Structure 1
Amino acid sequence: MNVKDIIIIGGGAAGFFAAINIAERHPNLKVAILERGKEGLQKVKVSGGGRCNVTHAEFVPSELVLNYPRGEKELLGPFHQFMTGDTIEWFETRGVTLKIEDDGRMFPITDSSQTIIDCFLNEAKKHKVEVLYNESVKQIELRDETKDVDHHFKVETQSGLFYCNKLVVATGSNPKIWKLIEGLGHSISPAVPSLFTFNIKDERIKDIPGVVAQNVEVKVVGSDLFSEGPLLITHVGMSAPAILKLSAYGAIELAKRNYKFEIEINFIKQSFEDCLENLKNLKQEFAKKTVFKSAQFDLPKRLWHKLVEASGMDQETRWADLNKHQLENLSTQLTQAVFQVDGKSTFKEEFVTAGGVDLKEVNFKTFESKLHKNLYFAGEVINVDAVTGGFNFQNAWTGAYLVSKAI
């Protein structure tokens, strides 16, 4: 009979972090990870373009939680227990130094995710965590809690049966495992993609991929969804934080709309009226110059050219010759440009989903199931997700650490 004290299902970020911390606290316990793949830590490997965006330099819990469209309220308490500073310290005491980039993202100074993977594999080995690969879980059975059974859980994989007293589920967004958890009586919020870029075909952004508008406001027409930040024009549409934040906060709403909707962009963060007033002043100031060649409002030249053309002017139109109608058109393009979104694309390899174990059914002091004693969850298996920038990993580290503490 294959008996362990603690089994962790899932050899990803949360699974390894939980296993290592449990084994370190309890050297006498038999701790095993069951990983369905032939190797683990795959998301760690590809995160941050292969550099592993470990966490984000945000050190105030109430500020950190603002990056979680789902889980904001629930993570406040846990972040008071274990958050960014603790993550940095945890890695540093194990020989991994992290650095902060200008945008707040934190990476190992080696700029290689392999550093994090090696750290986890070494720690697991050091603390005698058994890592079993190619173990796809088929069934999770809860033994009768009212009777005096030796082992609370029976876990069936394609290779056989495992028994344990405490079970940690850290499988990320895995529909098969969600189905098994549902079989134990838990509610699962349906999964929808959460971090994605917008597919947009529009003359105004055609042939200018790579152009970045540094500080824009974007809203989804006909909803309260709104975000701001840098916006990147790509070969297929738009990306960068302004769009990714919108995709995360709007994950459920945009899925309902089948990813067909309109967005309104304010490229210069001014009202239509203020912009119009500024354009009238520029008309006086640059009377003899062509509008096309005199980009304003710190906009990239190529984007300015497109918006000027979209306002009904040619390359020779001078500021002095602008009529009321053209000025209003240009102000509209700058402050209220509407684009039709038709579909989405995954953001890099970072496939994140909203969905998972219902937050009301998890005790966030311990990350234990409220329905079954000795059943714990960590990472994206619960209905928590974050915007891009290292926040999803921070949720994994925090949850896994509190699980280890509770156990």
Structure 2
Amino acid sequence: MSSLNITVIGGGAAGFFGAITAAETFPEATVTILEKNRTVLNKVRISGGGRCNVTHACFDNRHLVKHYPRGERWLRPLLNQFDAAATVRWFESKGVPLKTEADGRMFPTTNSSETIIDCLLDTARRLGIQVRTSCGVTSLHHNGSQWELRLTGDETLLTDRVLVATGGYPQLPSYGWLPDQSEPLQSPVPSLFTLNVPDSPLLSLAGVSVPQARVQVAGTKQQQQGPLLITHWGFSGPAVLKLSAWAARDLAAVDYRFTLRVHWVPALNEAQVRDELQAFRQQNGKKQVSSQNPFGLPNRLWQALVAEAGIPETQRWADLPAKQQNRLTEQLTNGTFNVVGKSTFKDEFVTCGGIALGSLNPDTLESRQHKGLFFAGEVLDVDGITGGFNFQNAWTTGYIAGKNLGR
């Protein structure tokens, strides 16, 4: 009896994890990874500034799934099989301990993504997994009992089982080589991006950040809070990235042109900010408004907000007209910025959309319509916010598909 042939399309995190799990679970199977690029694990290499944000130290799965704008309910039972704690144990069992940073992100203790890449490559090599690079797949068809893959260079490959782990595609036609599923594809749009604000009066403050700010898409309920970074082109930082993920479809629908509202001191409401300014004014009457502020904001940012409120640099608190004080309150609590477009966050391009979750068996990740065809990773309509959650989706879904590929 010939051994089972398993082919994994995509040499990223989900593809490698699925291949390794399949090879460990079904040692008699022949497992091959096909990667269209010249190198594998490219996203792993650049993640976390080259350190690889492997997962997040969130070990309560009910809380963990709250970090996925799409796929939360679907992912919840899958995490019972392989969650963040299992990820930590898996890498430690391979000699790669992880460490937790203050914000919950987990990295290898070496601070190098190459450690994760070496671990996955060495494990695949030890298990006899064949890795073929510069090997894209142009079509995928079921012919009787096997799957027929047409490769770049007109080569044809026959295999028993297929795991598609190609990552997300930016446009719908890119999925055209896949057989149709029982549910239509969820149209892909970008997630995790920064905001371009070309006429922002704050562009000269690039590099200045605040530990907490609230950002909101004007006219909607879409808002997020967290660290905010001023950039040469607009805004970035966790608050903006979270907003871009949760509002991904809404922002695509308006072609990334909208009004962003920023509350620079979200611990206080407008009335409290007004009271704080009044109290500060009474105690610091002789001082210039631009020289110091009661909210602990970076000095350069405070000075810019004061200027935006139309307050001269030499203006003293005691002589500040009520109208200008009201304008300053408005700048602090409800600053408005015209967003015109977006930028990819570093190189960590993430898509919302992809294979509809309802088209898969939720226990095995096998296609309901095509036996022997499985999916894992970002090609699915699952995406997380920044912080290790997208990798956790890759490890979890890769593991579960891998466990079932040989059944």
Question: Shared fold (TM-score greater than 0.5)?
Answer: yes
**Counterpart residue identity of residue 322, structure 1:** L
Q: 1:397 to 1:353 in 2, by over 3 A?
A: same
Question: Aligned to 2:337, what secondary structure does the other structure show?
Answer: strand
Q: Does 1:103 align with 2:103?
A: yes
Percentage identity across aligned positions? Answer: 44
Q: TM-score, normalised by structure 1?
A: 0.95
Query: What residue is the counterpart of 2:198 in the other structure?
Result: 201
Question: Aligned to 1:180, what secondary structure does the other structure show?
Answer: coil
Q: Which runs of 5+ in 2 are unaligned?
A: none
Task: Find 1:281's aligned residue among 276, 279, 282.
Answer: 279
- Report the number of matched residues: 400
CA shift, 1:203, in A, is 5.0
CA shift, 1:210, in A, is 0.8
Q: 1:90 to 1:182 in 2, by over 3 A?
A: same
Q: Does 1:161 align with 2:159?
A: no
The whole-number CA distance in structure 2 between the counterparts of 1:220 and 1:182 is: 38
Q: Which runs of 5+ in 1 are unaligned?
A: none
Task: Find 2:212's aligned residue among 205, 211, 215.
Answer: 215
Question: Aligned to 1:376, what secondary structure does the other structure show?
Answer: strand
Query: What residue is the counterpart of 1:378 in the other structure?
Result: 376
Q: Does 1:229 align with 2:226?
A: yes
Question: Aligned to 2:207, what secondary structure does the other structure show?
Answer: coil
Q: TM-score, normalised by structure 2?
A: 0.95
The whole-number CA distance in structure 2 between the counterparts of 1:177 and 1:110 is: 37
Question: Aligned to 1:338, what secondary structure does the other structure show?
Answer: strand
**Counterpart residue identity of residue 197, structure 1:** T
CA contact (8 A) 1:186 1:371 kept: no
Question: Aligned to 1:290, what secondary structure does the other structure show?
Answer: coil
For residues 275-320 of structure 1, the C-alpha deviation after alignment (integer angstroms, 9 at most, x for no partner) is: 1122111111111111100122111111000011111111111111
**Counterpart residue identity of residue 165, structure 2:** A
CA shift, 1:327, in A, is 1.4
**Counterpart residue identity of residue 161, structure 2:** K
Matching of residues 4-83 of structure 1 within 5 Å:
5-83=5-83
Question: Aligned to 1:81, what secondary structure does the other structure show?
Answer: coil
Bigger shift: residues 361-370 or 241-250? 361-370
Superposed CA RMSD: 1.6
CA contact (8 A) 1:83 1:398 kept: yes
The whole-number CA distance in structure 1 between the counterparts of 2:52 and 2:220 is: 34
Q: 1:98 to 1:395 in 2, by over 3 A?
A: same
Q: 1:166 to 1:203 in 2, by over 3 A?
A: closer
Query: What residue is the counterpart of 2:311 in the other structure?
Result: 313
Q: 1:54 to 1:227 in 2, by over 3 A?
A: same
CA shift, 1:219, in A, is 0.6
CA contact (8 A) 1:182 1:188 kept: no
The whole-number CA distance in structure 2 between the counterparts of 1:366 and 1:297 is: 52
CA shift, 1:4, in A, is 5.6
